[in-house]
Structure 1
Amino acid sequence: MKLIDTVKMATTTLMANKMRSSLTMLGIIIGNASVIGMIGIGQGAQELASEQFESLGPNVLFVIPGSRQSRRTTFETPNTLVLSDAEAIASQVPSVENVAPQINGRFLVTVGNRNNNVLVTGVTPDFLPVRSFVVEQGRFFDDTEVRRSVRVAVIGPEIASQFFPNQNPIGQTIKVRNVNFEVIGVMEEKGSFLGTNQDETVYIPLTTMANQLVGRTSQFGTQVSIINVSARDPNSIEAARFQIENLLRLRHKIVGEDDFVVETQKDVLNIVDTVTGGLTIMLAAISGISLLVGGIGVMNIMLVSVTERTQEIGLRKAIGATEENILLQFLIEAVIISAAGGVIGTAIGVGGLTLIALFSPLPTTASPVAIALAVGVSGGIGLFFGVVPARQAAKLDPIVALRSA
């Protein structure tokens, strides 16, 4: 019997049992859609993280208080960095271009009868070039206002829309912890970063933050939450890291473990890529289990089919069909079911990723490699799990088959 005739016969048999064929394909459909969807979401998360870290600014280093061990074992931010550390970095590290210390805190912000608990950040004017922030409306505060601890604020665009709908926020007054601040600028939209909405932030002079809102929290000076540093060029990043570490070790008189961490943009991105990559593999593996379950379902239904079609098998063998003909027919049926389920599942997975990309910030795309892998694996599963029922059908004795029918 020709292969084309065997394929036609297998297709006709499957079409004659549409409900059973559809239910058999369901496990494969769910498995393929899950694998493609999970891989697409994982890759989208990696891409989104890369975009967010690129938006931090070029050649950026972050000096973070506390050792790696202390940051893993405590919920409170260690107070090991002070403002004088940032000033020393700016004046004594030749490979550094700008230094922007900052103090973070969450306070109640009030305008009239509107209030919200938002992130308030005390910074210096160097924050703009280091972190690539842009003022869209008005202006940013200058060094004179920082030295004088002036009560001025630059707000994020979402703060502006929340507290000053349909009016110009410039010149208006907001209360931060019951302290009045004049709004002098509105930042350009920046988006979220690692779960923090950067557009829902109030920026005030660092000295105003230290002296009038948080107070003195370290015996060695004004405590800072982080020191943002920009190197002179990409080739200076490692040199800047080395010089900053040596300087701070001398200043802090460190003989053991450092009480600070210097991370580059690339370091943090690598950590996030490792985490998201691991999650993607884990999600794909979990989704792959459903493909395995679908394959077992194919084998189960095909075994039932062999039992139901003993008369057909016996009759075909009695009129001259060989074991190879019977084996090939049942294998082709299993492969058609699995491949068709793979194609439908792929379409559902791609459609789901398209909807996620349309209605969420996650840039999800269906990887051609993931599609080819999912369809290929589903077809292979059909072939693998179809072998047992196909061999059972091929080994049936025609006389026994006709009698049992």
Structure 2
Amino acid sequence: MIEFRESLKMATSMLLANKLRSSLTMLGIVIGNASVVAMLGIGQGAQELATSQLEDLGPNVLFVLPGSQRNRRASFNLPKTLVLSDAEAIAGQVPSVAGVAPEINRRLLVSHRNLNTNATIVGTTPEYPAIRNFSVAQGRFLNILDLERHRRVAVLGSEIADRLYQTQTPLGQNIRINNITFEVIGVMETKGSSLGSNQDEFIFIPLDTMVAQLVGRTSPYGIELSWINVKAKDGDSVGAATFQMENLLRLRHNIKNGEDDFGVSSAKQMLDIVNTITGGLTILLAAIAGISLIVGGIGVMNIMLVSVTERTQEIGLRKALGAGEQDILSQFLIEAVIVSASGGVIGVVLGMAIVAIVGSLSPLITVISPAAVVVSLTISGSIGLFFGVVPARQAAKLDPIVALRNA
């Protein structure tokens, strides 16, 4: 124990005597640990954000999407294989469904007086807020009379309302969508982003008005839909609702043996896919950051080897005074571990700071994982021990007479 304390004291004094060299040796470890902690924190933050957004949809929300699975993988411009009568059939004939909201969406130019912006125009029905868990902050949402009478009324997302009306009250004022005037009847509560789109940039108008005034009829089979939002009666009914809707649409679309020209996805399925993707990306980022830790360890070994060459006189003198190979080995190993562990602590603090900054400047729900901190510190200390063995053994094997003669 006394010998260890003596080796620790000598190792510390040598590191403090060569502050610049010690700092440069430590730099690679600092960068490696900071990268690991930051990448894992940001990756987990992205996963948490995606999870919170999809869970906000509810466990019993389903989406009926147009196009075959192959089409959906290969292109964003999906064939419009769903029509309004499909949504009406689901609402009327699928017993495990509690609500249906067909949807048409387009990215269009909107303006108020001299202010212009682009927004996602959503043509839908009064059932939409209940199914997609939206709430109205001011005014009201669309009702059945708006739909039946093809009224030019609009409900604005909170960000669009702030951007176009600023300090004014939007209710009762006009907004122009593709140079067609609509009356603002409501403003939605702030919702945030989901599935890659900013829901606060949505503008909701009656589905029939959108078809008659903005997009027109492009199919002889009815009003083409972007997709259909469906709410099952409860979480336990999701499987039954999916099965019943698939059978109904196959019958309506006359699909017997071929590939479906539609798909049914649940919020849970989307969550599983997102978690798989973000989890894989987090592992990839951590692996890339881990490489920098190894590079830092090699840097420790290189500098320690140079240090052995520079300190041959010191080593020879210690051996001449009675220090054994084990004493020299311990001193150099302790130096390597101190450099790596200190660099690990500094790197972890720096990584945590980076995660905190990213969290404050972005919508990511950044997380500092205690496991990542512990693993990072353990690996950095182990790397110092591992890469310190070669120079330490080289120092311990030096012949004291040769060392003193060459000094």
Question: Under TM normalisation by the shorter chain, which class is it?
Answer: over 0.9
Paired amino acid for 1:291: L
Distance 1:58 1:168 in 2: 35
Paired amino acid for 1:313: I
Q: Which residue of 2 aligns with 1:272?
A: 274
Secondary structure of residue in 2 paired with 1:298: helix
| Number of equivalences | 405
Q: Which residue of 2 aligns with 1:384?
A: 386
Q: Find out whether 1:360 has 2:331 as its counterpart.
A: no
Q: Which residue of 2 aligns with 1:163?
A: 164
Q: Find out whether 1:91 has 2:92 as its counterpart.
A: yes
Q: Which residue of 2 aligns with 1:291?
A: 293
Query: Alignment RMSD, CA only?
Result: 1.1
Q: Which residue of 2 aligns with 1:131?
A: 132
Q: Deviations over 1:157-198 (max 9, x none)?
A: 111112212221111111111211111111111011233111
Paired amino acid for 1:242: F
TM norm structure 1: 0.98
Stretch deviating more after TM superposition (221-230 or 70-79)? 70-79
Secondary structure of residue in 1 paired with 2:229: strand
Q: Which residue of 2 aligns with 1:180?
A: 181
Q: Deviations over 1:273-324 (max 9, x none)?
A: 1111111111111111111111010000000010011111111112221111
Q: Which runs of 5+ in 2 are unaligned?
A: none
Q: Deviations over 1:313-370 (max 9, x none)?
A: 1111122211111111111100000000000001111111112222221111210000
Distance 2:369 2:273 in 1: 23
Q: Find out whether 1:117 has 2:118 as its counterpart.
A: yes
Contact 2:301-2:387 at 8 Å conserved across structures: yes
Distance 1:213 1:362 in 2: 35
Identity, % of aligned positions: 64
Q: Which residue of 1 aligns with 2:400?
A: 398
Q: Which residue of 2 aligns with 1:74?
A: 75
Contact 1:58-1:230 at 8 Å conserved across structures: no
Q: Which residue of 2 aligns with 1:305?
A: 307
Give, in angstroms, the shift of residue 95 of structure 1: 0.5
Give, in angstroms, the shift of residue 57 of structure 1: 3.4
Distance 2:258 2:229 in 1: 24
Paired amino acid for 2:372: A
Distance 1:182 1:27 in 2: 61
Distance 1:403 1:140 in 2: 92
Contact 1:40-1:367 at 8 Å conserved across structures: yes
Distance 1:345 1:74 in 2: 43
Distance 1:396 1:62 in 2: 73
Q: Deviations over 1:235-264 (max 9, x none)?
A: 001111111111111111112111111001
Q: Which residue of 2 aligns with 1:208?
A: 209
Q: Which residue of 2 aligns with 1:36?
A: 37
Displaced runs of 4 or more, over 4 A: none
Aligned positions of 1:274-353 closer than 5 A: 274-353=276-355
Contact 2:3-2:327 at 8 Å conserved across structures: no
Q: Which runs of 5+ in 1 are unaligned?
A: none
Give, in angstroms, the shift of residue 58 of structure 1: 4.1
Distance 1:194 1:140 in 2: 23
